[in-house]
Amino acid sequence: MFAAIAVSYGITVLALILLAIGTRKMLATIRLGQPDPNRRDNPGKRVQTLIREVLGHTRMRQWNLIGIAHWFVFVGFFSLFLTLITAYGQVISPAFTIPFIGNFIPYELFAEFITWSTGIGILILIAIRQITRLRKPPRKSRFYGSTMWQGYYVEATIVAIVVCVLLLRGLEGAAVGPIAWTWHYPLTYPFIKMFSSFSVSTIDIWIRTIATIKIAVSMLWFIVIATNLTMGVAWHRFLAFFNIYFKRNAGGAPSLGELPPILTKGKPINFEDPADDDLFGIGKIEDMTWKGLLDLTTCTECGRCQSQCPAWNTEKPLSPKLLITAMRDHAYAKAPYLLAVSPEARAALPDEVRQEAERPLVGVDGVITPDILWSCTSCGACVQQCPVDIEHIDHIVNMRRHQVLVESDFPSELGSVFRNLETKGNPWGMNASTRNDWIKECDFPITVLDGQIPEDIEYLFWVGCAGAYEDRAKKTTKAVAELLHRAGVKFGVLGDGETCTGDAARRSGNEFLFQMLASQNVETLNTVFENRASKKIIVTCPHCFTTLGRDYKQLGISLELIHHTQLLNRLVREKHLVPIVPLNQTITYHDPCYLGRHNQVYAPPRELLEASGAQLVEMPRNSERSFCCGAGGARMWMEEKLGERINMARVDEAIATEAAGVAVACPFCRVMISDGAAAREDVVEVFDVAQLLLKSIG
């Protein structure tokens, strides 16, 4: 008995001491991050989001069976804590039960049900891990690059705990000596029968022994995680609550759409008069905010982001998971250097710590290589899939910001794009005077606004750079304009008064250029909508949709953005547009990332296609799990030199549906899908949804 008590309570004291030390180190590391004052607003909403995501497992349920199994394991992890308390009593007295509830039938039923469901759940997760690992090539497995021993250890610990609880319940029942099945042991009666022949003294010895093993296994788990602060597969059980609570959007929406402003000392940079010590993005790991460092620490290495990433799936070096874990490992390896209180203390650190401190965050020999950093299309698949709400895109763009604004180190193709945006107001470098050329090709009047919008005009039609200059996108622009004209919608355009919204500049990291373009547009829009309570803007480009409607709020203007598929769908429903010539052909629809994942617009384009008489055939990856075309994150303007071209992978998926055409709702997607189809020499045609609707109206 004394040995069991000494082992159980001794290892518990050791575990708690080490856990306290480890937790203190972790908090000190996270506190190295910069202030972020935007994480504590709307505490009520944040609590609601936390409860909904945690108890409802809303992010995990995207994966059906995995989500259900994980829910039971999650509940078991916390619910079975009382069985651990029981074990501490049992090493002293085998007959110990928790006062008041220990023999309460509802509690016993709950404990046994959760034990069994936790055991079944963890066995399902183990099976899925192994099937995924063995049946898929290494890079195709979402566990590729994960620290596998950590996952195996956590799984083994849970299995051991479940076995211990079931054995203890059987021994407890055998000690009481029920003759038949009883509600006190509703799901462990077979174990009672297994031990029914044991003597009372033998049962007591077995209870103490297994209770000691249960305590030792549990405390060893705490010792392991306390000495491995980068063991996210274990630590996320505690940190996920905080990471979800402090997510960017208090209401629970994924951290997609607009990009956050550059913060320095917790405040947005004043680009008109920046301070000498302002931080322009993330150049060193300590330039991250504390929430960014919490993100890194919370990563479970589950690989869901990796499995959905278009860059990784086309043999590029970017894996969102491996990017986060590389930054995490670097942060914790460098932390002792950053926390050292004096030069002498730093000099006394081991060589590997000082070498890690000198390692660049981004560089050929850095933690993150340029090829990794610039492979991102900002499609949002990683953020959409992450079960603990890590904000991958924000961190990637913040590193790009430093590379562009401080290091002037970026892909060479972006140099001409930046110049074109700065001097011509569009990435193609076309003259502003030609923005109206598409109007000359229309056989109906179009109002070009000059100053304030007239009262009889309801909408501003923001044509965008692609819609004005790119030949394929111009077809969409003209189709939308004609449909609006036919429906009797009053709209006007700015013509050469438009300039680029700055999407490519911002998402490639050139925040200064974005601020310049955005400020110019905000001034124009304030003039156009002067004295207007409702500022309605129609766009055909999801990138303009996001930038104008969401990023521009940071500049003090609130606009009501309407994607053309949303407005056209409403006009069809209200009978202002009536399709009379059914298309009678199969069409597959490609979800633009910046319309779908970033803005949750999925139904209107599909409803329009159905209204047009098309037979919709979905690609395997659609809606929330749609596969990127490869143009986002300013990748439209960069050569794709590594791996398979992303647009080719998407086109192959579209061709495999055997649909006669591919419908899109984004000018960038149209370019990428059209070019991919041409490269495959396939006859599949690519249209914007508006063109198909116009064709069906006749």
pLDDT tens readout for residues 537-580: 999 999 999 999 999 999 999 999 999 999 999 999 999 999 99
310-336 mean pLDDT: 97
SS (H, E, C) 55-94: HHCCCHHHHCHHHHHHHHHHHHHHHCHHHHHHHHHHCCCC
% of the chain residues with pLDDT over 90: 85
pLDDT at position 328 is 98
Residues 139 and 166 reside in one and the same domain? yes
In the predicted structure, residue 116 carries a pLDDT above the cut 80: yes
How is residue 85 written in tokens?
């308390």
Helix (H, G, I), strand (E, B) or coil at 448: strand
Q: How far apart are CA 484 and CA 552, in angstroms?
A: 26
Residues 341 and 451 reside in one and the same domain? no
Within 8 A by CB and 6+ apart from 380, the residues are 254, 256, 393, 593, 597, 598
In the predicted structure, residue 698 carries a pLDDT above the cut 80: no
Give the number of other CB atoms < 10 A from CB of residue 342: 8
Q: How far apart are CA 630 and CA 225, in angstroms?
A: 39
Region for 495 from its dihedrals, namely left if φ exceeds 0, alpha if ψ lies in -120 to 50, beta otherwise: left
Looking up residue 345, the CATH number of its domain turns out to be: 1.10.1060
Residues 290 and 418 reside in one and the same domain? no
In Å, the largest CA–CA distance within the chain is 99
Q: Which residue has the tokens 């955005």?
A: 518
Residue 179 pLDDT class (50, 70, 90 cuts) = low
Residues 304 and 211 reside in one and the same domain? no
Helix (H, G, I), strand (E, B) or coil at 364: coil
CA atoms within 13 A on the CB side of 173: 27
Of 371, 405, 439, which residue sits at a domain end?
Answer: 405
Of 374, 405, 436, which residue sits at a domain end?
Answer: 405
Residues 542 and 686 reside in one and the same domain? yes
Q: Which residue has the tokens 């598409």?
A: 438
Residue 253 resides in a domain: no
In one letter, which amino acid is 148?
A: M
Residue 185 pLDDT class (50, 70, 90 cuts) = confident
Residues 592 and 481 reside in one and the same domain? yes
Quickly list DSSP for 302-333. Answer: --HHHHH-TTGGGT-S--HHHHHHHHHHHHHH
Residue 532 pLDDT class (50, 70, 90 cuts) = confident
Do β-strands 586-589 and 615-616 pair in parallel, antiparallel, or remain unpaired?
parallel
Residues 545 and 691 reside in one and the same domain? yes
Q: How far apart are CA 403 and CA 638, in angstroms?
A: 16
Residue 211 resides in a domain: yes
How is residue 137 written in tokens?
């090539």
Rounded to 5 degrees, φ, ψ at 655 are -60, -35
From 37-41, 229-233, 377-381, 394-398, the region with the lowest mean pLDDT: 37-41
Per residue in 189-209, pLDDT (tens digit) is: 889 888 888 888 898 999 999
Residue 35 resides in a domain: no
In the predicted structure, residue 210 carries a pLDDT above the cut 70: yes
Per residue in 22-44, pLDDT (tens digit) is: 999 999 999 999 999 999 999 99
Residues 396 and 457 reside in one and the same domain? no
Residue 597 pLDDT class (50, 70, 90 cuts) = very high
Beta bridge partners of 560: 536
Nearest to 264 by CA among 398, 407, 404: 398
pLDDT at position 526 is 95
pLDDT at position 312 is 97
590-604 mean pLDDT: 97
Residues 393 and 429 reside in one and the same domain? no
pLDDT at position 4 is 86
Residue 638 resides in a domain: yes
Calculate the alpha carbon distances from 627 to 1, 270, 382, 570, 646 in Å. Answer: 61, 37, 12, 27, 9
Domain coverage including residue 208:
2-29+49-229
Residues 395 and 422 reside in one and the same domain? no
Beta bridge partners of 561: 537
How is residue 659 written in tokens?
């649909």
Q: How far apart are CA 425 and CA 414, in angstroms?
A: 15
**What integer best gives the mean pLDDT of the chain?**
94
Of 378, 405, 432, which residue sits at a domain end?
Answer: 405
Rounded to 5 degrees, φ, ψ at 118 are -65, -45
**CB 82 within 8 Å of CB 54:** no
Residue 40 resides in a domain: no
Residue 178 pLDDT class (50, 70, 90 cuts) = low
In one letter, which amino acid is 653?
A: E
How is residue 325 written in tokens?
């874990």
Within 8 A by CB and 6+ apart from 216, the residues are 7, 8, 11
Q: How far apart are CA 470 and CA 476, in angstroms?
A: 10
Calculate the alpha carbon distances from 33 to 9, 240, 424, 498 in Å. Answer: 37, 18, 39, 39
Residues 67 and 213 reside in one and the same domain? yes
Residues 430 and 397 reside in one and the same domain? no
From 224-233, 518-527, 675-684, the region with the lowest mean pLDDT: 675-684
How is residue 338 written in tokens?
């950053």
Residue 240 resides in a domain: no
pTM of the model: 0.94
Helix (H, G, I), strand (E, B) or coil at 268: strand
Helix (H, G, I), strand (E, B) or coil at 510: coil
Question: What total number of domains does the chain contain?
Answer: 3
Residue 236 resides in a domain: no
Residue 631 resides in a domain: yes
Task: Please tell me what DSSP assigns to residue 617.
Answer: -
% of the chain residues with pLDDT over 70: 100
Residue 453 pLDDT class (50, 70, 90 cuts) = very high
